[in-house]
Amino acid sequence: MAMLAGIVGFRGYSGVELQKILAAHPRTAPVLLEHRADSAPEVRPLGHEGPRRLPCQADEVAKAGIEVVFLATPPEVSMDLAPALLEQGVRVVDLSGAFRLRTAERYRHWYKEEHTQPELLASAVYGLPEFYREQVKGARLLSNPGCYPTAANLAIRPLVAAGVVDRAAGVVCDAKSGVSGAGRKPSLKTSFCEVTANFSAYSILNHRHVPEVLLNSDLKEREFSFTAQLIPIDRGILETVYFRAQGAASAGDLLDVYRKAYRDEPFVRLYPAGSVPDLHAVARTNFCDIGLRYDAATGRAVVVACIDNLGKGAAGQAVQNMNLMFGFGETEGLL
């Protein structure tokens, strides 16, 4: 019988993606948890009413037999909802930034507000399975990574760990994202006429996803320059990573670093040396695709990493984590 999986924030872009994945997943059935009344009822075809709905109350959720709840909510809402669910024995996969930064101080610094559940931070597991698979399996509170850091860490961490990055010269990550990454709440910045035929940079050097990269890739702030930018498309993240390589005689050497790191990873795909992925390659998948070019004569290296920000960057990775937490096959519902 299908495991019941609740979704809070099911109308948001990550929430809708979770609905789709969990409905098609062989092991789960989604339940939509109403957290706030929605004034604009959506139009649905006759006879296609969609998943069951319940009010989002921890005791009722537990009573209904829901074993995991995905919080596709802002961090302050996640901090609000997580404790009661955990107390009821319901496992939580949180897609917000609430539990990603390990300490309340760091959260305050980057999110400009107090952390209201600091005691939960220690037990939260950062859900990047490629690096923390064993911890993920035992998680009760799973903190799903940010979209930008997912691609950045998958691109950068193995290189830093292998010592092929000249840290003195620094690492540049020029990141571009589709608009769904900004959420579904209407704003001028994400209005069609403002975004179309445009391209813009924001949060240069101070995006709140920066500390997630630093914490997991072992770079220091002074070694890492990050710019977030808006592409006029709905979904997809492409990150262009620049560094000076050391100890690598060829592109193949750098590629070998990735090959070793991701040998058995089902969701990381590598490209032949000199070739790089584009966003179409990963659209509506849970893959992170990585390719690179390297000019050995000058040491200049460029890595391109692509994900779907709603797939591996949010809902897809959240389900990958759920699969690990509940002992399902890691790729079930995701290939």
Residue ranges in contact with a copy of itself by CB under 8 A: 13, 40, 43, 45-48, 168-170, 172, 174, 176, 179-180, 184, 186-188, 190-201, 204-205, 221-222, 225, 227, 229, 231-236, 238, 240, 242, 244, 269-272, 275-281, 283-284, 289, 293, 295, 297-300, 302, 304
CB atoms closer than 10 angstroms to residue 116:
14
User: Whole-number minimum distance, CB 231 to a copy of itself, in Å?
Assistant: 5
Q: Which helix (H) or strand (E) holds 325?
A: helix 316-325
DSSP codes, 234-270: SS-EEEEEEEEB-S-SSHHHHHHHHHHHTTT-TTEEE
Residues in the chain: 335
User: Whole-number minimum distance, CB 25 to a copy of itself, in Å?
Assistant: 14
Nearer to a copy of itself, 255 or 325 (CB): 255
Nearer to a copy of itself, 112 or 222 (CB): 222
Distance CA 317, CA 332 (A): 12
User: Whole-number minimum distance, CB 117 to a copy of itself, in Å?
Assistant: 30
DSSP codes, 150-179: HHHHHHHHHHHHHT-B-TTT-EEEEEEE-G
User: Whole-number minimum distance, CB 154 to a copy of itself, in Å?
Assistant: 14
Count how many Cα atoms sit within 13 Å of the Cα of residue 88 in the half-sphere of its side chain: 21
Q: Which of 56, 147, 288, 306 is catalytic?
A: 147
Nearer to a copy of itself, 26 or 327 (CB): 26
Nearer to a copy of itself, 79 or 283 (CB): 283
Q: Is 147 a catalytic residue?
A: yes
Distance CA 143, CA 317 (A): 11
The residues annotated as belonging to the active site are 147
